[in-house]
Amino acid sequence: MSVDAISLEVFKNLFVSAAEEMGVALRRAAFSPNIRERLDFSCAVFDAAGAMIAQAAHIPVHLGSMPASVRAALDRFSDFAPGDVIIVNDPYHGGTHLPDVTLVSGVFEGGAPVFFVASRAHHADVGGMSPGSLPLSTELYQEGVIIPPIRLFEGGRRSDGVLALITANSRAPHERIGDLEAQIAAHRVGEARLRGLIAAHGVERLSEHAAALIAYTRRMTEAAIAALPDGVYTFEDALESDGQASFRIPIRAAVIVQGSRLTVDFSGTAAQVAGNVNAVTPITISAVGYCIRLLSGEDLPVNAGCFDPVTVIAPEGCLLNPRFPAAVAVGNTETGQRVVDVVLGALAQALPERMPAASQGSMNNVTIGAMVGGVQRVYYETIGGGHGASADGAGLSGRHSHMTNTLNTPVEALEAAYPIRVRAYGLRADSGGAGRHRGGDGIRREYELTAPGVVTLNCERREIAPYGSAGGSDGALGVNTVIRAGGAERVPAKWTGRLEAGDRLVIETPGGGGWGDHLP
């Protein structure tokens, strides 16, 4: 047996197609609009040692974090057996935040696992102190049910006790059952696809090409790094609130390029904070890995080889490597975005013509919980904004950027599922930063509640604007407004409160930074 360029490309697409087919099955079977409509999930294929072979083109923040969950599952269960499915959401065991629930199952040959498949889906509510499980928390225990690596299925038989424990901690238990069953369906598809590949090509040939694909990606990553001039490039940006108080929370990075190796050192970043913006290390690794992928001019495969030439240093106890049980609810969504801004800002010193200005830098998290007919409905959405401009042209408007790759919830689906009416939805004119190339515009979305509900917002870039590059202007700050019968009130970036039927919530997301000196 041998590997050549043609066979490598063929097997690369075979592995990716298995992950993609898992994603199609998950979307079709999902119960919640967050998974079915917004596509807030990822699927991937792993080798027998737990190294990622292929990930479908889903969520970038899962790039470096889902492998950590697989590793935690394999470390916990050395007796992994056919029919077992491990479930985990604990951020301190490879997760990101509690709503992201990961399942891991094996593909066996001769009684031994030869591949693993995994899925991660954002469940709209897993308990905690506010609907949507992204509260203004001060410890992990307040954020929802914590699931360490445990067996959801053992030998093909579901643990009804484990499932009951999970659903008992959710405000929408039937939705949790439906979405978990959708993940299981996706696993069955992935397992069947890989068993078909084993039957057609044999384990040895598949494993040989999996290893070759990881090695190929490693070489491509090394080549992309080697194209950078050697040196140390530093940059600092900051978060503006931890949900408990508004204050500057610096994230500092030194990007060190030495030949084909790259180190990103976050020493000097703020210590972990009391509130919910701490980010566990797999999120930081994901963000750095995403930035490295941007350096490659080719279609870099997504697998374990992306990370081999890269070292990430995040001192224990800092914002990017907090100690348990620090709150982490939006370290995934908000802090991960800022890590990208910082790393790209540092890389812009090495490649000023290739790196863009800052994009909106927030996922603008909105969660709304309301009772309808005695049933709790929990809505979750992240809202797009402006992309940063670059030397190549203007930034895109009204799009998700960087660490998220989700869609929006269509207005029709949103209004059908929740006691919410969308009063306005469109681009926020002239919110992109000026420059030779203008930053993309943000979004303005206005909700009206048709039943009383509890709203929680977790946003950024309401006080510290997305930066412009090469002389371009910063993007516009985001704005959150609540409109009641008594008038309009601007509310903070991170806020929770009760709205009555007829009250409105207006989210105006940030624009992207401009690039280049202004034209005369």
Q: 113 preceded by cis ω (within 30°)?
A: no
Helix axes 336-350, 281-295, angle to 10 degrees: 40
Backbone dihedral angles phi then psi of residue 85, each to the nearest 5 degrees? -130, 120
Torsion angles phi and psi, residue 414, rounded to 5:
-65, -50
Q: State how far the alpha carbon of 155 is from the alpha carbons of 86, 151, 480, in Å.
A: 11, 10, 49
Instruction: Identify the pLDDT of residue 58.
Output: 67
d(CA 110, CA 105): 16
The answer to whether the beta carbons of residues 478 and 225 sit under 8 Å apart is no
Nearest to 19 by CA among 49, 50, 46: 46
Q: Where are the domains of the chain?
A: 5-218, 356-520
Q: What is the number of alpha carbons within 13 Å of residue 237 lying toward its C-beta?
A: 25
**pLDDT reported for residue 344:** 97
pLDDT score recorded for residue 1: 61
Contacting residues for 186 by C-beta, under 8 A, at least 6 apart: 22, 23, 25, 26, 29, 43, 119
Query: pTM of this prediction?
Result: 0.95
Contact in structure between 193 and 107 (CB atoms under 8 Å): no
CB 267 within 8 A of CB 251: no
Between CA 493 and CA 478 the distance in angstroms is 8
pLDDT of residue 366: 98
- Please give the pLDDT value at position 302: 87
> What is the residue-level pLDDT of the chain in tens, covering all 520 positions?
689 999 999 999 999 999 999 999 999 999 999 999 999 999 999 999 999 999 987 677 776 788 999 999 999 999 999 999 999 999 999 889 999 999 999 999 999 999 999 999 999 999 999 999 999 999 999 999 999 999 999 999 999 999 999 999 999 999 999 999 999 999 999 999 999 999 999 999 999 999 999 999 999 999 999 999 999 999 999 999 999 999 999 999 999 999 999 999 999 999 999 999 999 999 999 999 999 888 886 678 889 999 999 999 999 999 999 999 999 999 999 999 999 999 999 999 999 999 999 999 999 999 999 998 889 999 999 999 999 999 999 999 999 999 888 889 999 999 999 999 999 999 999 999 999 999 999 999 999 999 999 999 999 999 999 999 999 999 999 999 999 998 999 999 999 999 999 999 999 999 999 999 976 5
